[in-house]
Structures are given as C-alpha cells and as structure tokens.
Amino acid sequence: MSQPEAVRRRTRPFALLGSELALVFRRRRTWAMLAALALVPVLIAIAVRLTTDRDSGGPAFLGDITNNGLFVSFTALTVSIPLFLPLVVGVVSGDTVAGEASHGTIRYLLVAPTGRLRFILVKYAGAVAFCLAATLLIVLVGAAVGALLFPIGPVTLLSGTQVDGWSYAGRAVLLALYVTLSMLGLSAIGLFASSLTTVPVGAMAATVVLAGVSQVLDQLPQLDWLHPFLFSHLWLGFGDLLRDPVSFDSFGANALLQLGYVAVFGALAYGRFATKDVLS
C-alpha cells in the first residue's frame, strides 16, 4: 500500500481519530513511558514496605500507606505531578505536529482532505488521551500494589471522615480526572510548540522546560500576583476531593485555568498551522 493511500484511509469519518490513537499507543516510546510511570507507585510501595515499621513514627503519608494500601495511588500521583507527568506529556504533545512534519506525512493528510482545523483537533485529542491513560495507570497500579503489600480498609479523608474502599475508589477516579485536567494546558502549549518546528525533540524540550519554569515561578513569593495565571498553579489543588462532602471548587477553578490555556495556545497552534506552507 502506497503512503498516500494509507494516509487517505486514515481520513475517513472518525477514522482519523482512531488512527491517531493507534499511532500514539502503538509506539514503543509510549509504552516505555507508561511503564516508567507504572514504576512510580511500585517503587514507592516497595520502599515503604522495606524501610518503614508500622509501629514507628515517620512522615504522615508513610503512615497512611502502611495503614492502608489505597494511599499508594494518592502518593504516587502527588509525586508524579511535578516532574514525571509533565515530562511524558511534553514528549507526546511536542511530537504531535512536528512528528508528522519530520516524517513527511502532513501534506498527504491535508490532500486527502483532512482540513487543518480537524488535523489540529485530532492531534490534541491524542495528547489528551495519553494524559488520561497515564493518570489512570498510576492510580490502578498504585491500588493493585498497595492491596498486595499492605492492608486495605476504611480510608480517613482530610476532613477526618472515614469512607469505605469503594467510596475512596470513586474519589481516586476524580483525582485522576483532576490530574488529567491539570495537564490540558501543558498539552496545548506542547501542541503550539510542535507547530513551530519540524524537529520534534525541540518542541518536546521547550514544553518540558516551560513546565519547570512555571513551577519555579510559582514558588517565588515576589511573583504572587502572577501565580493564579500560571498553568501549574493548581496542579496540587485536589485536596477538596478528599473531603466529606466533596467540594468541586478547586476542580472548577483548575478547569477554567486550563481551558484558558487550551483556548489561547490552541488558537495560536491553529493560526500558525493554518497560515504556514506545508512542504513536508
């Protein structure tokens, strides 16, 4: 099958999105990054199991894990948000447009025809799907390894109320959705960076660096006026989901912040891609 014909098949109704998801999740690089993320809860659980005595003192979160293995998921998400998730999200989103350009397939997709707006939307949808898969993987692996190495029982929330394992499982899903939502702005930035170059590594590096810069700026008290506008400002603001009753205030505030970045950088990505001459 020729390359133009193969690309043409990808542009049938709803086929382009399915093809994009297959492209993202069939790559060995994607599976390697997901495996690395899955190691985070595994290593945390093993380290706590080997080094922490249940009857001794220690940091609160370690005590929570040893008393209830369900806390492995929460701890793994908290550890992954500042570094590991932005790193892998930067790699995937930075490859969206630049990856196709480097392989010389964009012009075939547009001739098919696909349409430049549809192309951008599908590429962004693939990055969002990866964000969701990555966060759910951390939660599921954390719950599994926690149940294997530690006892499972009622979970004490931040408000002091105890809930059963199933109720906490629902909150864990909300945590995963919150973290996925937190990565939407960064994914849009990566999409825009990817539209500026034909070198995927450059877009990936720029996206990851910007994630680090945003978090550094968020720690500077002299820039407290800027903090509410940084896309990373509410990454760790999911405490309301671990209270009884559940409050969605932080969820809503984070959604508005991230959607603002999606709107701005999504428009910039489309504007850049719609006006450029596609030669690759």
Residue ranges per structural domain of the chain: 3-275
Question: Is the per-residue pLDDT at 272 higher than 70?
Answer: yes
pLDDT one-digit tens code per residue, 78-119:
999 999 999 999 999 999 988 877 776 666 566 555 678 888
Q: What is the DSSP string of 38-107?
A: HHHHHHHHHHHHHH--TTS---HHHHHHHH-TTHHHHHHHHHHTTTHHHHHHHHHHHTHHHHHHHHT-HH
Q: Name the pTM for this structure.
A: 0.87
Nearest in space to 21 (alpha carbons), one of 92, 69, 112: 92
Mean pLDDT of the chain: 86
Q: Which pair of tokens denotes residue 125?
A: 């949808």
pLDDT category at 1 given cuts 50, 70, 90 is very low
Question: Is the per-residue pLDDT at 132 higher than 50?
Answer: yes
Q: What is the mean pLDDT of residues 155-172?
A: 83
pLDDT higher at 35 or 11 = 35
Question: Is the per-residue pLDDT at 52 higher than 70?
Answer: no
CB 227, CB 218: distance < 8 Å: yes
